[in-house]
Amino acid sequence: MSKLFSLNSLFSLPFSLKKGFSHGVHPPHHKEQTADLPIQRVPFVSRYIMPLGQHIGVPSEPVVKVGDRVHRGELIAQPKGFISTALHSPVTGKISNIGMHRYVDGSFRQAIEIEADPYATQQFVNTHNNVFNVKDMNIEQFIDAVQMSGIVGMGGAAFPSHVKYSIPDEQVITDLLVNGAECEPYLTNDHRLMVERPEAVLRGCEILRQKLNAKRVAIGVEKNKPESICQLKNYLTDDMAIDIVPLEVKYPQGAEKMLIKSIYNKELPAGKLPRDIGIAVNNVGTIVALADYFDHGMPLIERIVTLAGPGVQEPANLIVPIGTPIRDVLDFAGGLKEQTREVISGGPMMGSPIADLDAPILKGTSGILAFTEKETSRPPEYPCIRCARCLDACPYFLNPSRLALLGKARLFDEMQDKYNVMDCVECGACTYACPSNIPIVQHIRTAKDNLRNRKVET
Amino acid sequence: MMNNKDPKLLLQSAPLLRQELTTPAAMKDVWIALLPATAAALWFFGLSALLLLVTSIAGAVLTEWVFTDKDKRRFAISDTSAGLTGLLLGLTLPPGLPLWMAFLGGSVSIGLGKVIWGGLGTNLFNPALLGRAFLLGTFPIAMTTWGPAGGPGEFFQIHSSNFAWPLMQGQYDALSTATPLGLMKFEHETTALGSLFMGNTAGSIGETSSLFLLLGGLFLLLRRSIDWRIPAAIFLTASLFSLIMLLINGADSNFPSPLFTLFSGGLLLGTFFMATDPVTSPLTPRGCWIFGIGIGFLVVLIRLYGGLPEGMLYAILLMNAATPLIDRYTQPKIFGRKS
């Protein structure tokens, strides 16, 4: 739907009177394709690939060797250091290889390859022997348990969750913020989770709130998901210190800082973490993974993936064992249409293109989207005419027009010193808004990579 | 299903979605917004206006063609920005101007106003106004000799001065008249607001009809093609400043009322179509306010104290020159940082 006249922006004020974040863009939601499709389970396939470094931080260390028989949910790699997490076998079978394997971006990475046992029941067996009594755990035990559960941020970043829960002694968490905004177009995996398992969402919230000693929980959900909001409210009881907060539908509402601004009306200072102002932020998927681990002993071995986009034969929301090759997941949904030109993992605004369909589904894969010629073809790039639409789009109030120009000239230092390029979270709103089709966020990524690498060298 | 390594797959990075507006489409909006004013120009100044517009557009487009890299020509012309510059320049010309001067003006607009800076998006000054400044400096008499506005009955009566040979000044047929601003300044004579509003006064062919310019400006504002802060700042400052001058100097001085200031001369044409040119105006919201206030202040100052009755041209060009500096000092406050 194209908006011909936008009176809204005409009368927008230079300062913000209302709650919520300023700027941002309104891409079409495209959620209708999968929003009403119940979550289905993907059947087991013959081969699984578990990259050791699929989270942010140090890659895990294998504790199995080739030929070992593993059960579904059994530990196959342990964390190496604190900012690292565990890996568990998604399937009962045999370790067939430990070596380099194609990763989604086309590079090769260390991975454990597991051959599924075709005769196994594939039933999850709780190998922990001890049933968790999460209530009596102290915070150190809780953090250790989360690290050994392999749980990472499920929204896409895949940052080990236990690191987030390790709060320095001098800091106090007052609020737990649960991110159910799901502002990326096409994706509905969080939505379906909230609709189908609201009790698990609320249970996870309560577990984490108690462990972090937070006073209240806020679950932020964009208003275009009324069913989610309604379901969560239905299961909410008076003894839970949980608020369901409907949010304005605007991209990037689900970005951590924007979410904090929208819900608490606080501006998180640059370079600070949410915990510095007493807030812990978690995705709904992560929260449900916590509930599943502490209630049923199930580590992170599967996740919900949205399969959508105009290039997919049968869009779906699927429970996929982590490590399943993307190609197998696509085959389950009838494969790709002939016209497919690009497949991406994650949402269309911040996701990354998939170079090899044999790469596996990862802990952070929220969606697999396929696009055709129509969405991927671009008009030619015109010069920047300084229309300032990117400035009006940037929720961080950066100057993308200037950054793109400096980036093209490779003036990275000026980008950092004068225009704070490092504050950019690469949400892509500027590039979405650019009428000249300038790949602004690309120039910014290049600059940030260069600046980071330079830091390592010196 | 695709073969093993999926060679057909693209690896374009996110975001994959784009909003629908493109730069050429944004230019088209300006063309559409100029239609009413162009129609008014033809109505009041007849074929002379048509010929002037065509020659200045031709001068602009041909210059862009000649001075652009061979393989980029088609692309450069296709965004229609050169044609737009020619049209804007044409609208600021007096009806009796020799056509060769209009052609030369269009050529200078693009050549010195745009191409030498590096093409679209790189120029510091508004190209059309730079062309007009050149014409005003080089042909002061031709550029300030105004014929009266006619009507539809006189559509085919062409000013003979239009056809002066190249490098010759024209022979002026009709009695030259003064523009409302000239009458105000030199003869202390006010023109009725109704005439200013409709446009049947002497003046540059595209600047006389306030009504039609306002229509175009409103269209651009609603389409969000221009930053509303710039016209708002110009109107507020110009009317406030001229009101103050009027109050200080008394009603019987030759200082005009705020409404006269807004509806006379090139103020509306300049405000909606030249000051708001995104390339030569500031990027930042605060910068747009400063830019507009500067223009509003300068235009009244030049009109009251300058040698010529009109000041919009230099007000905009001067603020164009200040744009990079304004941008530098009005960077928005970054989220999570202190100024």
Q: Is the pLDDT of residue A323 over 80?
A: yes
Contact B328, B268 (CB under 8 A): no
The answer to whether residues A328 and A350 belong to one domain is yes
Q: Is the pLDDT of residue B160 over 60?
A: yes
Average pLDDT value for residue range B225-250: 93
pLDDT of residue A129: 54
Q: Is the pLDDT of residue A15 over 60?
A: no
The answer to whether residues A209 and A248 belong to one domain is yes
Q: Count of CB atoms within 10 A of residue B294's CB? A: 21
The answer to whether residues A349 and A271 belong to one domain is no
Report yes or no on A25 lying in a domain: no
The answer to whether residues A259 and A390 belong to one domain is no
Q: Which residues of A fall within a CB distance of 8 Å from B26?
A: 385, 387, 435
pLDDT class for A290, splitting at 50, 70, 90? very high
Percent of residues, chain A, with pLDDT higher than 70: 94
Cα angle at A133 between A132 and A139, to 5 degrees? 95
Q: Is A420 on the interface with B (CB under 8 A)?
A: yes
Tokens of B127: 């190209």
Task: Tell me which of B4, B17, B80 to substitute to probe the interface with A (most A C-beta atoms closer than 10 Å).
Answer: B17
The answer to whether residues A170 and A254 belong to one domain is yes
pLDDT of residue A206: 94
pLDDT of residue A128: 60
Q: Is the pLDDT of residue B175 over 70?
A: no
Q: Is the pLDDT of residue B23 over 70?
A: yes
pLDDT class for A11, splitting at 50, 70, 90? very low
Q: Which residues of B fall within a CB distance of 8 Å from A341?
A: 8-10
pLDDT of residue A160: 95
Alpha helices in A182-255 (DSSP H): 189-196, 198-212, 226-235
Taking a contact as any Cβ pair under 8 Å apart, which residues of chain A between 212 and 271 contact chain B?
Answer: 257, 261, 267-271
CB contact under 8 A, A376 and B12: yes
Cα(B91)–Cα(B87) distance, integer angstroms: 6
Q: Is the pLDDT of residue A130 over 80?
A: no
Residue type, B127: P
Q: Which residues of B fall within a CB distance of 8 Å from A332?
A: none
Cα(B59)–Cα(B289) distance, integer angstroms: 34
Strand A242-247: give its sheet, edge to edge: A242-247, A216-222, A175-180, A279-283
- Burial letters B62-92, b for 16+ CB under 10 A, else e: bbbeebbeeeeeeebbebbbbbbbbbbbbbb
The answer to whether residues A60 and A155 belong to one domain is no
SS (H, E, C) B183-210: HHHHHCCCCCHHHHHHCCCCCCCCCCCH
Q: Which residues of B fall within a CB distance of 8 Å from A13?
A: none
Minimal Cβ distance to A375: which of B16, B79, B286: B16
Helix (H, G, I), strand (E, B) or coil at A370: strand
CATH code of residue A451: 1.10.1060.10
Q: What is the average pLDDT value for chain A, to the nearest integer?
A: 91
Domain boundary among A318, A351, A375: A375
Report yes or no on A16 lying in a domain: no
The total domain count for chain A is 3
Minimal Cβ distance to A349: which of B15, B22, B281: B15
Domain boundary among A375, A403, A430: A375
CATH code of residue A278: 3.40.50.11540
Q: Is the pLDDT of residue B72 over 90?
A: no
The answer to whether residues A403 and A453 belong to one domain is yes
pLDDT of residue B224: 87
Indicate the CATH number of B24-329 among 1.20.1250, 1.10.3430, 1.20.120, 1.10.287.
1.10.3430
Alpha helices in A150-281 (DSSP H): 161-165, 189-196, 198-212, 226-235, 256-264
pLDDT class for B191, splitting at 50, 70, 90? confident
Report yes or no on A227 lying in a domain: yes
Q: Is B218 on the interface with A (CB under 8 A)?
A: no
Q: Is A386 on the interface with B (CB under 8 A)?
A: yes
Q: Is the pLDDT of residue B195 over 90?
A: no
Q: Is the pLDDT of residue A424 over 60?
A: yes
Average pLDDT value for residue range B271-281: 96
pLDDT of residue B174: 59
Average pLDDT value for residue range B56-83: 91
Q: Is the pLDDT of residue A6 over 50?
A: no
Place of tokens 């100097």: B249
- Work out the minimum CA distance from B257 to partner chain A, whole angstroms: 28
- Work out the minimum CA distance from A177 to partner chain B, whole angstroms: 19
Q: Is A351 on the interface with B (CB under 8 A)?
A: yes
CB contact under 8 A, B14 and A428: yes
Q: Which residues of A fall within a CB distance of 8 Å from B337?
A: 269-270, 420, 423
Q: Is A334 on the interface with B (CB under 8 A)?
A: no
Report yes or no on A441 lying in a domain: yes
Q: What is the average pLDDT value for chain B, to the nearest integer?
A: 90
Cα(B324)–Cα(B328) distance, integer angstroms: 6
Give me the residue spans of the domains in chain B.
24-329
Peptide bond into B15 cis (omega under 30): yes
Domain with A63 in it: 40-127+301-375
Average pLDDT value for residue range A202-222: 95
The answer to whether residues A203 and A320 belong to one domain is no
The answer to whether residues A104 and A169 belong to one domain is no
Report yes or no on A137 lying in a domain: no
Report yes or no on A15 lying in a domain: no
pLDDT of residue B199: 84
SS (H, E, C) chain B: CCCCCCCCCCCCCCCCCCCCCCHHHHHHHHHHHHHHHHHHHHHHHHHHHHHHHHHHHHHHHHHHHHHCCHHHHHHHHHCCHHHHHHHHHHHCCCCCCCHHHHHHHHHHHHHHHCHHHCCCCCCCCCHHHHHHHHHHHHCHHHHCCECCCCCHHHCCCCCHHHHCCCCCCCCCCCCCECCHHHHHHHHCCCCCHHHHHHCCCCCCCCCCCHHHHHHHHHHHHHCCCCCCHHHHHHHHHHHHHHHHHHHHHCCCCCCCCHHHHHHCCCHHHHHHHHHCCHHHCCCCHHHHHHHHHHHHHHHHHHHHHCCCCCCHHHHHHHHHHHHHHHHHHCCCCCCCCCC
The answer to whether residues A103 and A121 belong to one domain is yes
Tokens of B225: 């093609």
Domain boundary among A375, A406, A440: A375
pLDDT class for B6, splitting at 50, 70, 90? low
